[in-house]
Structure 1
Amino acid sequence: MSVVIVAGDGRWPLRHGQDPVDLLAENGWSGDPVHAALGEDGRIEVHYDGVALDEPSAPVPIGQGQHATRVHQRVAAYAVVVDEDRLLMSRLADWVRGAAGLWTLPGGGVEPGEEPLDAVARECHEETGQRVVVDELVQVQSQHWYGAGADADEDFHAVRLIYRATCPQPTPARVVEVDGSTGDAAWVPIDGLEALPQTWMIGMARPHVRVDAGR
């Protein structure tokens, strides 16, 4: 599934390995993400509240994995869910290559033909057993790396849609999905986050983890 960035009257496909911020700047725009939706052509459209720049920025070079046997862009959606002073988190299973045992936000890949909002709600339930109400899109993360994938050396581009969500009726967190990539789930005190082994995603999303966010 591919991504299109939208701002003003402009629509631009996100190239493999490219950060949406760089793509906007190339086309003379800056702004914040406001929502994402499945387009009529089956691509995910990420809309920005854009401001026109005085002049476009020069394109940012994107390296390529010289020995990669698979080029893969993965679009995924995750939720920042706060209940009082706790953050809902999931821990990656021990078999997950390169990130085994790390804590992260609940979420996962957007399936072909699936709305991102539906993907967030589905993944939160599968990974933590919680029914959540998905609110606004607060961040789009882009991470590009080369390395060993599940079955090949990959040139991998992760595009992550980070939403804020609420849980009207919190229950003890538990993993629902069988044989998935989640090994555990928990409501974690926000003041103890830094002590946990965690993914790169958490640090990037940390400004949106607020004690008052779930009230």
Structure 2
Amino acid sequence: MHFSEYDTRVGAYALILDGDSVLLSWWTGQSHPEWASWTLPGGGVEFGEQIESAVVREVFEETGYRVELDEYLTSHSFAQYATEDRRPFASVRIVFVAHIVGGQLGTIEVDGSTERAEWVRLDQLDEAGPRVELVDIALAALRRRA
């Protein structure tokens, strides 16, 4: 399928650790509340926006923290086929390792897809509730680098 025949969404995310805890955002699932789950802070890159700027902006909106990016970590993509109301869709997600340089925990986003952000202990991820696959992909990529 030619790239003009499907929609593409580029997302930028941050993996932020503090000791044995990871900073996660609770995604509301938007129009599908049954999909609500923990995810890495981040989101869609706006038209004309640099990827690095997008992840810094998104982390602030979703968590209240100002961050600096340390390094590119990994990427992941997936595709969804057309439905009655949507063209085929490709998602490209880019993950950076980042660290906090200011702010305080609290979601700044208004009418967005994030309800809250929390520090979750790595050994309690399974008990914290559902999470998107990207959390595990990022953590596995970080472990491979160690």
| Normalised-by-shorter TM-score class | 0.7 to 0.9
Count of equivalent residues: 141
Partner of 2:118: 186
Separation (CA, whole Å) in 1 of partners of 2:61 and 2:122:
22
Separation (CA, whole Å) in 1 of partners of 2:83 and 2:91:
14
Partner of 1:109: 44
1:193 alignment partner AA: L
How far off is 1:168 after superposition? 3.3
Choose from 66, 71, 77 the match for 1:142.
77
1:156 alignment partner AA: F
Poorly superposed stretches of 4+, deviation over 3 Å: 168-171
Separation (CA, whole Å) in 2 of partners of 1:109 and 1:131:
18
The answer for unaligned runs of 5 or more in structure 1 is 1-14, 17-69
Q: Please report the TM-score for the alignment, with normalisation by the length of structure 1.
A: 0.59
Choose from 197, 201, 204 the match for 2:137.
204
- TM-aligned CA distance change 1:136 to 1:71, over 3 Å: same
- TM-aligned CA distance change 1:137 to 1:99, over 3 Å: farther
Percentage of matched positions with identical amino acids: 38
> Is 1:160 the equivalent of 2:70?
no
Separation (CA, whole Å) in 1 of partners of 2:83 and 2:24:
25
Encode CA deviations 1:33-87: one digit per residue, 9 max, x unaligned: xxxxxxxxxxxxxxxxxxxxxxxxxxxxxxxxxxxxx831111100000111111
Report if aligned partners of 2:73, 2:142 keep a CA contact under 8 Å in 1.
Answer: no
**Higher radius of gyration, 1 or 2:** 1
1:101 alignment partner AA: A
Separation (CA, whole Å) in 2 of partners of 1:122 and 1:79:
11
The answer for unaligned runs of 5 or more in structure 2 is none
What's the RMSD between the two structures over aligned residues?
A: 2.4
2:106 alignment partner AA: R
